[in-house]
Amino acid sequence: MAVVDVRKNTELRMQKSLEALRADLAKVRTGRAHTGILDHVQVDYYGNPTQLTQVANVTLIDARTIGVQPWEKKMVAVVEKAIRDSDLGLNPSTQGDMIRVPTPPLTEERRKEFVKLVKTEGEDAKIAVRNIRRDANEAFKKMLKDKECSEDDERRAQDDVQKLTDKFVLDVDKMVSEKEKELLTV
């Protein structure tokens, strides 16, 4: 494996860490309704755990209410139970074949809990990025030891990976601060 390949692989892995953080932050609700908070709800669909979005149509009714309409009438009670049992703190109500999921406004205490959660997620993402940097640096050292690259190439590659790490850590900080600002806005 060449130095360039290790660098590309490192950048791809760091990008995936950033995408994972973006997905985790999308789960944290901000007081406004958005369909993304139901993306990870699992429904028992004829004995198989299935994502809610694969058994129902999820839409926004208004700024504080999500509408869930299962494609099969007999799934209404199952979907409602799955939403209620999820750890999202939502209380759905059924009206015919439509399930209305109101999102309650967040209290100040709850907002601060979510900010702590967001900061923890950000720290985890930074740790992942730094672990990827460590793996790349170890690969460069191994290549140097095996005489697959020169000391200058190894030094340059480590500098490049450090610049990549700094860039991704900055991106993580920016994502966390945006989410924090979004959470604290009433």
Kindly report, residue by residue over 42-77, the tens digit of the pLDDT: 888 888 888 888 888 888 888 788 888 888 888 888
- Between vectors from CA 13 to CA 7 and to CA 179, what angle results, nearest 5°? 125
Residues 150 and 175 in one domain: yes
Q: Cα separation of 68 and 2, whole Å?
A: 51
Q: What is the pLDDT of residues 78-131, one digit of tens each?
A: 888 888 887 777 788 888 888 888 887 777 887 888 888 889 889 999 999 999
Residues 61 and 153 in one domain: no
Contacts 24+ apart (CB under 8 A), 168-175: 168/14, 168/15, 168/17, 168/18, 168/129, 169/126, 169/129, 169/130, 171/18, 172/18, 172/21, 172/122, 172/125, 172/126, 172/129, 173/122, 175/18, 175/21, 175/22, 175/25, 175/122
Residues 64 and 116 in one domain: no
Residues 45 and 59 in one domain: yes
Q: How confident is the model at residue 183 (pLDDT cuts 50, 70, 90)?
A: confident
Q: What is the pLDDT of residues 25-35, one digit of tens each?
A: 877 766 666 77
Q: Helix, strand or coil for residue 43?
A: strand
Q: Which helix (H) or strand (E) holds 6?
A: helix 3-27
Residues 90 and 137 in one domain: no
**CATH number for position 88:** 3.30.1360.40
Domain count, the chain: 2
Residues 69 and 130 in one domain: no
Residues 114 and 180 in one domain: yes
Residues 88 and 124 in one domain: no
Q: pTM above 0.75?
A: no
Domain boundary among 50, 80, 102: 102
Classify 74 in phi/psi space as left (phi over 0), alpha (psi -120 to 50) or beta: alpha
Name the token pair of 165.
């790490």
Residues 79 and 64 in one domain: yes
Q: How confident is the model at residue 1 (pLDDT cuts 50, 70, 90)?
A: low
How far, CA to CA in Å, does 74 sit from each of 57, 83, 100, 149?
A: 15, 16, 16, 64
Domain boundary among 58, 75, 102: 102
Domain boundary among 102, 125, 143: 102
DSSP state of 44: E
Closest CA to 13 of 168, 163, 139: 168
Q: What is the pLDDT of residues 13-28, one digit of tens each?
A: 999 999 988 888 877 7
Q: Which domain holds residue 143?
A: 3-27+107-184
Residues 112 and 135 in one domain: yes
Residues 23 and 112 in one domain: yes
**CATH number for position 159:** 1.10.132.20
